[in-house]
Structure 1
Amino acid sequence: MNLLKDGIENESVQLTSQVVKLTVDGITSNYQVYRVRLDNLYFNDQNDRIATWISQYKAEYGEDSLSRDDLQHYNDVIQEFIEKSNPERIKQTQENIKLLNQQKYGVVLNDGRIIDGNRRYTCLRNLSKESDNFNYFETVVLEKDFEHSAKQIKMLELQIQIGSEERVDYDPIDRLVGIYRDIEDKELLTEEEYARSTNQKVSAVRKELDIARLLVEFLDAIKAPKQYYLARELQLDGPIRELYTALNNISDEDKKQEFKYIAFANLLMKPDEDMTRFIRNLKGISKSVYLDEFISKEEDIAESVLDDLPEEGKVNSDVISKFRADETTKEDLKRTMTVVGSKVKVKETRDKPNQMVKNAIDALDSIDLEIIKRLTDEQIDDMKANLERLEEVFQEVKEAVNV
């Protein structure tokens, strides 16, 4: 349906007196707000917020399972994803609309695809079952279609939902999946265009994209490519970010790859309840002299874990749960982490006094001697007293190391 033609003709789309400002394609203009009957609209399946849910549904029911041929079924399925993504926020928004009606307009395309306002549309669909007063969605209607304006529409969506001052609450994994799909997978946007649309620095976008690539690499390693919902279920946002930092500590590419796949095996098996902290502890190992020892102790276990996974396409939540029931392997992984991690901590403790001496030298070297000439008499006297104390401490340290 063409909302601005067919919808107005059959009165399922009604013009309101409200006019709002909206920036589209870099141009800010006034747009009319319309009341559009709910059954003329449909959820945007390209919305990054529900990317992992869409991947889960298609993994279970097939790539072509989510078709708009049956629009009611299509909307019902996606509405369930939106409600599951943040049930508390849905409840709050729905109560607010029930009390005050819809307060913020949406943005839709001329064919009914919702670009902004999925949560409000969800709430109105629920409330319309109780009262006909909620049968309409107030929204701007853009005279564009998704197929021919996908890039511009994605930039608009990002600007509204991520780049605005009031950013919506995206699941962090959905954010990573979105940036990967938009820039790497579909090549819809460049890093610069994504940064501009979301009001971020290009360097920040590049870092997020690198983390997203690492997440995708993990899914490939566990033979579950593009099964993004698993990353959400496994709550990998914190651990994958810690792993990204740990890998940056390793300059040798071969060791980096070995370390990475060992970490992937640990993420799959979950030997510790707090995997963010667990992987954070790996950072200390990654930059220590014990890196080789850690790799040699865990590489065979990790290889065995990843090799034992079923063939691609058969890895799901149940398979991962069965793997995680192997307490012996989990204990082996954790034991190595504990033993090597303890060695790192001991070495760090022993190295700390020398590092503090180095810091003291750096601090003294940074003093601008010209400034001293401009100090007051009182400041000079105070500095002399501190230097005398410094000499005393220096002698005590020298005696302790038998210099």
Structure 2
Amino acid sequence: MNLLGDGIANESVQQTKQVVKLTVDGETSNYPVYRVRLNNLFFNDQNDRIATWISQYKAENGEDSLSREDLEHYNDVIQSFIEKSNPEKIKQTQENIKLVNQQKYGVVLNDGRIIDGNRRFTCLRNLSKDSDNFSYFETVILEKDYEHSAKQIKMLELQIQIGSEERVDYDPIDRLVGIYRDIVDSKLLTIKEYARSTNQKEKDVKKDLEIAKLMVEYLEAIKAPKQYYLARELQLDGPIRELYSALKNIDDEDKKQELKYIAFANLLIKPNEDMTRFVRKLKDISKSTYLDEFIEKEEDIAETTLDDLPEDRKVNSEVIAKVRADVETKDKLQSTMDIVSNKVKAKETRDKPNKLLKQAINSLSSIDAQIIKRLNDEQIEDIKVDIERLEEVLRGVKDAVQNV
């Protein structure tokens, strides 16, 4: 279906009097808004927002299971992903459209692919089952096709969904998957282009890309390559970001790799309900003298856990649930974390007095004697009082040291 050709000819596409401004390929122009019958449109399966859901569907039903040959079925499947991803928002939007009709236009391609407006399209499809008043989607139509304009379309999608002033809510794992797919997998965009499209700093995109690579590496380590839905189900965003910070503290590449795979095994087994806080403790361990001890205590468990997993792409939610049912291994990992992190805390406590003394010396050393000469009498008196207090505190510390 060509919306601006066949659609207008058969009156399933009707131009309205409304005109809106839209920036495409860096150029801002006025675009007319059309009313398009819902059955002429289809969801964009390349939308980053539903990447994890599509990966799950294909993992369960086969790589070729999501075809547009049966457009109604295709739309029903993807609509279920959109509804599951944020049911409350769908309900709110649907009630609003039912009361005041569609207020915000969408953006679609000439073949009917929806670039912006998935949620509104979903709500209209639901409402149209009970009333013909909701059988049309109001939208801008771009005279482009995805195959020949994928890069420009992706940049437009990112600009609308992430880079606008009113950013649409985005699952953090879907964001990471999108960054990885767009920059690494498909090489559709550069870091610079992604940053410009999403109105972010390049350094922030670089950091998110490194975290996304770590997430992908985790899925490969548990023999579930590109099964992005597992990262969403396991709520990896918080833990994987903490792991990224911990690994940044280690210069030795061998130790960094060892700690990484130990952390991967912990994330798989989940010895603690709050894995973000659990992995956060690795940051303190990673920069302590107890790192080698931690690695030595856990490397065998990690290696055995990861090696015993089924072959590639056989790992799914059920397999992970069975791994997590191993209470004995969970207890060992939790115990090791508790023992080593407590040692780190104890050492920090022991080192704190000396650290505070060094901070005090550095602060006192920064006082400029020339400035003191220019102070008034009242300010000088205040300093004398503080010096006496300082000497008293210092005497107490000296006595404590001498009496050890």
TM-score (norm 1): 0.98
Q: Which runs of 5+ in 2 are unaligned?
A: none
Change (3 A) 1:153 1:374: farther
Q: 2:293 maps to what in 1?
A: 293
- The CA deviation at 1:373 is 4.2
Distance in 1, Cα, partners of 2:30 & 2:374: 61
- The CA deviation at 1:341 is 1.1
Q: Secondary structure in 2 aligned to 1:111?
A: coil
Distance in 2, Cα, partners of 1:365 & 1:189: 51
Change (3 A) 1:40 1:367: farther
Q: 2:74 maps to what in 1?
A: 74
Distance in 1, Cα, partners of 2:377 & 2:202: 51
How many residues get paired? Answer: 403
Distance in 2, Cα, partners of 1:276 & 1:213: 18
User: What does residue range 52-71 of structure 1 map to in structure 2 within 5 Å?
Assistant: 52-71=52-71
After superposition, the C-alpha distances for 1:181-239 in whole angstroms (9 at most, x for unaligned) are 00011100000000000000000000000000000000000000000000000001000
Distance in 1, Cα, partners of 2:16 & 2:371: 69
Q: Which runs of 5+ in 1 are unaligned?
A: none
Q: 1:146 maps to what in 2?
A: 146
- The CA deviation at 1:365 is 3.1
Change (3 A) 1:18 1:330: same
Q: 1:363 maps to what in 2?
A: 363
Distance in 1, Cα, partners of 2:370 & 2:19: 64
The aligned amino acid for 1:256 is K
Change (3 A) 1:20 1:349: same
Q: 1:385 maps to what in 2?
A: 385
Q: 1:354 maps to what in 2?
A: 354
What fraction of aligned residue pairs are identical, expressed as a percent?
79
- Mean CA deviation greater in 367-376 or 104-113: 367-376
Distance in 2, Cα, partners of 1:223 & 1:372: 67
Distance in 2, Cα, partners of 1:58 & 1:290: 44
Change (3 A) 1:300 1:83: same
Given the alignment of the two structures, is residue 210 of structure 1 paired with residue 210 of structure 2, yes or no? yes
Distance in 1, Cα, partners of 2:111 & 2:269: 46
- The CA deviation at 1:383 is 2.2
- The CA deviation at 1:391 is 1.8
Across the aligned residues of Structure 1 and Structure 2, the Cα RMSD in angstroms comes to 1.1
- The CA deviation at 1:353 is 1.2
Given the alignment of the two structures, is residue 259 of structure 1 paired with residue 259 of structure 2, yes or no? yes
Distance in 2, Cα, partners of 1:54 & 1:319: 20
User: What does residue range 1-400 of structure 1 map to in structure 2 within 5 Å?
Assistant: 1-400=1-400
Q: Secondary structure in 2 aligned to 1:401?
A: helix
Change (3 A) 1:194 1:370: farther
Distance in 1, Cα, partners of 2:306 & 2:196: 39
Distance in 1, Cα, partners of 2:88 & 2:373: 64
TM-score (norm 2): 0.98
After superposition, the C-alpha distances for 1:232-251 in whole angstroms (9 at most, x for unaligned) are 00001000000000111111
- Mean CA deviation greater in 257-266 or 333-342: 333-342
Distance in 2, Cα, partners of 1:55 & 1:380: 71
The aligned amino acid for 1:66 is L
Q: Secondary structure in 2 aligned to 1:137?
A: strand
Q: Secondary structure in 2 aligned to 1:30?
A: strand
Change (3 A) 1:374 1:112: farther
Distance in 2, Cα, partners of 1:338 & 1:123: 49
The aligned amino acid for 2:338 is T
Distance in 2, Cα, partners of 1:119 & 1:367: 61
After superposition, the C-alpha distances for 1:121-173 in whole angstroms (9 at most, x for unaligned) are 00000000111000011111111110000000000000000000100111000
The aligned amino acid for 1:239 is P
Distance in 2, Cα, partners of 1:262 & 1:108: 46
